Amino acid sequence: MIDYIADKIARKTAHNLHLPYIEAHLEVEMTRDGKSLLHKRQRSKSFVRNAYNTLFSQAAAAEADDTTFGPGLINAKDVAGTIAKRDTPISWIPNDVSSLGNGFRGNEGISNHGIVLGLGIGAESLEDYYLSGSVIADGNGSGQLNYNPTEALIKVWSAGPRTLSNSIKRYFNNNSGAQINGWGEIILIGKVNFAYMYGNLTGWWYDTYSIVFSRDLLPSPVNIPDKAQIKVIYTISLVYPS
């Protein structure tokens, strides 16, 4: 209810000021044998510094050349904690950003790209660059989930509310033979690039990094029964001014 009220106030304020408004929602559903065990939809409040640095770098044509990570500095911190910097802006991979393996679309069996699940309960922070606890790895072994390929992105324009949205959906299956306890952490990892010319060589060169754009927690950790399936959808929307 609090998220709903906050969304309504933010949208109303943006509308009154004739400003665009960007928002993200997270939907989580867990089923087993066709029965719903969990279904939650919440506002994603946890875009992290990497996301804002990428947005600012593109919008302001600002080079991501700072050597440390923090307020007033433009660069990226990848999932290993490495500072990603160059005398160029942060950009997406220079081909079809919506294809598997690029953007936010993690391939089948990949647990370090796209939507990724974890067991941490650390408070959400602007400085987050990975999970606060252990990742739930891909596989059929103890404590593992099958990571399905991220489905094709769904881009929708709704003329009435003047909203353009893009949805990222991924399924996970527990085929481990046992319950997985304490899941409550969700991150969204994108692949970004620094494109540059190298000396007198022709063509472009690219440094690629995997960085977290958003980290969210469920209201409380839940257990994933054996044979359960999880569906996670991130929907990022831009509400246009009137």
Q: How many CB atoms lie within 10 A of CB 93?
A: 17
State mean pLDDT over 50-77: 94
Decide: 43 and 24 in contact? Cβ < 8 Å.
Answer: yes
Partnered with residue 32 across adjacent β-strands are 35
DSSP states of 9-27: HHHHHHHHHT--EEEEEEE
Query: Could you give the CA distance from residue 40 to residue 26 in angstroms, rounded to a whole number?
Result: 8
Q: Using one digit for the tens of pLDDT, what is the confidence trace for 173-204?
A: 999 999 999 999 999 999 998 876 666 666 66
Query: What does DSSP say about strands 35-43 and 76-77: parallel, antiparallel, or unpaired?
Result: unpaired
- pTM, two decimal places: 0.91
Q: Where are the domains of the chain?
A: 2-239
Q: Using one digit for the tens of pLDDT, what is the confidence trace for 88-103?
A: 899 887 678 899 999 9
Q: How many CB atoms lie within 10 A of CB 116?
A: 28
Residue 48 reports pLDDT greater than 70: yes
Decide: 149 and 106 in contact? Cβ < 8 Å.
Answer: yes
State mean pLDDT over 25-52: 94
